[in-house]
Amino acid sequence: MADRKPISAEVRDSFPTVRNYLDMDSHPVPEALLETSSPDLGNEPIDKSVFTSRDYADLENAHVWKKTWQLACRENDIPAIGDRIVYDVLDQSFVIVRAESGIKAFYNVCMHRGTRLVGEHDPLSGTEFACSFHNWKYKLDGSLKRIPCRWDFPDVQDKQVHLTEVRVGTWNGFVFINMDPNCEPFAEFLGETIPRHFKAWPYDNAAKIGHFAKVLPCNWKVAVGAFLEVYHVNQTHAGIMSISGDCNSQYDSWGEHARQIMCIGVPSPHLGDMTEDAQMIVDDWLDSAIVGTFGVESLDVPELPEGAGIKEVRRLCAEISRKTRKEKLGIDYSDASDTEMLDSIQYFIFPNFFLFGGKNFPLGYRILPVRGDHESCVFEVMAMLHMPEGAPLPKDVSLKMTPTDEPWEALQGSFGKGVAVFDQDQANLVKFQAGLRQNGLKQVHLANYQERNIRNFLLSIERRIWAGQKKRSAGGASDRAPLHG
């Protein structure tokens, strides 16, 4: 492998861009991947209190989590009428149910005396909801079905004890909820760009075949930030530098939502010119992305012709990816572009949901704060399997919590070899939160471009907090949330 070399501004300007690699593609590239949007958000340092302050976490709870659309589950988590699933965020709990009239979401509480309606060990399907304490019963639409000894509640009206409903939105096989009855419409929140882009990559025909989570000892925004940039690849994931275009990745944002594209099958600019190592790039990609995944133990690959460059590398790797998926999954990707078969095309839906475009990484991440501990979060990884046309869609698997100290690498069977990168990220997230507590640090600094989506994320939170504070202030003004020191 070539040695890493210092990168000057002059050298940086000569990097191949994502568009350069897309222009090499052997197939037509989806228009979504040719679209760019990356406004300059400045260079101001960030006050570290946004990651460490209990008061700031309380502001997020009031003005972000209780006011924002957020992923609750997948539609295929509850495929049949009567199926239900519980979604918890901070101190609030919800039951999402498929009723005859469609998907509904209710606060997970009995209207009698406040017992949690659907408990951890309760059935996740049925024709009604029954409180385990006094057996009050509710229909799937949330209306009252039965009160034992109804004669003893002479003043209770049915409408008074209807389960409290929250807003529901569905998109691309996913279910979102919002606790705020006066919230913006879901379509307005999601915007025009994200749904248009994902028309090429539908997830409503996919089955969730793996869903695992761990509690991580860091603020939820620290974890989100780790996946909003690939600036860290050169140190944290140095083993994949020969096949990852890290510091020449592309970052885009549309309102609160964002995207990053990291090309695969190309060397990191940190390694300098690797033109003579084209075959090594192919071999490294095979070892990282194919062998040990899909049940592939070994693969015979033709050698590249003499003088082959990155164009030939990407075309060969993409063809191997198409062939492997057809043999192992029964899906024909012959019309898919090279970039869709190779690259990391990661979208971020504010405030905490990551979903990959393309065909190569059918993954989703969700990151949630932990009730009572603003320096911990829950990190979830979902593995999806696109089904062959006409194949029945199995019900999604349930979330499984795993011990924090159990390596992600133990889950290779569900996610493939690449899951080991989560262990590398987790080790740094622990150090990150510990460092933020140090009195010697007051502010953190973000790269102007490579960490631009982190700044956009933090600014989006600040804007929601500030707007919420202004609404609650009798005089129509308030102190600005402390993003910048």
What would the DSSP string read from start to end of 222-276? HHHHHTS--TTHHHHTGGGGGGB--TT-EEEEETTEEEEEE-BSS--GGG---GG
> Residues 313, 379: one domain?
yes
> Residues 161, 210: one domain?
no
| 48, 441 Cβ separation under 8 angstroms | yes
Q: Is 405 left (phi over 0), alpha (psi -120 to 50) or beta?
A: alpha
Range of the domain at 116: 71-183
**Mean pLDDT for back-to-back runs of 10 residues, the chain (485 residues):** 56 85 98 97 96 97 97 97 98 98 98 96 94 97 98 96 98 98 97 97 94 97 98 92 95 98 96 84 89 71 86 95 92 97 98 97 96 97 92 94 92 78 93 96 97 98 92 58 57
Look at residue 3 and tell me if it is in a domain.
no
Look at residue 478 and tell me if it is in a domain.
no
* Number of compact structural domains in the chain: 2
DSSP state of 387: P
> Residues 112, 233: one domain?
no
**Residues belonging to the chain:** 485
Look at residue 2 and tell me if it is in a domain.
no
> Residues 91, 33: one domain?
no
> Residues 282, 383: one domain?
yes
Look at residue 476 and tell me if it is in a domain.
no
What pLDDT is attached to residue 41?
Answer: 96
| 369, 222 Cβ separation under 8 angstroms | no
Look at residue 152 and tell me if it is in a domain.
yes
What pLDDT is attached to residue 213?
Answer: 97
What pLDDT is attached to residue 272?
Answer: 84
Instruction: Please give the Cα distance from 245 to 222 (Å, whole number).
Output: 23
Integer angstrom CA distances of residue 254 from 38, 193, 259, 367, 451: 8, 7, 9, 20, 15
18 by Cβ neighbours in 10 Å (0-12 / 13-18 / 19+) ranks as buried
Instruction: Please give the Cα distance from 194 to 417 (Å, whole number).
Output: 29
> Residues 141, 262: one domain?
no
Question: pLDDT tens digit string along 327-346?
Answer: 989 999 999 999 999 999 99
Domain boundary at 399, 415, 436, which?
A: 436
Q: According to DSSP H, which parts of 352-444 are helical?
A: 412-415, 420-436
| Segment holding 168, helix H or strand E | strand 165-171
Contact partners, residue 228, CB within 8 Å, separation at least 6: 258, 260, 348, 451, 453, 454, 457
Percent of the chain scoring above 90 in pLDDT: 83
Domain of 403: which CATH number? 3.90.380
Domain boundary at 183, 217, 235, which?
A: 183
Give backbone dihedrals phi and psi of 366, rounded to 5 degrees, phi first.
Answer: -130, 135
> Residues 217, 165: one domain?
no
What pLDDT is attached to residue 420?
Answer: 83
> Residues 139, 215: one domain?
no
> Residues 19, 159: one domain?
no
Look at residue 1 and tell me if it is in a domain.
no
What pLDDT is attached to residue 255?
Answer: 97
What pLDDT is attached to residue 1?
Answer: 44
> Residues 290, 327: one domain?
yes
Tokens 């925004």, located at residue: 221
Which candidate, 50, 454, 428, 457, places its Cα nearest to that of 216? Answer: 428
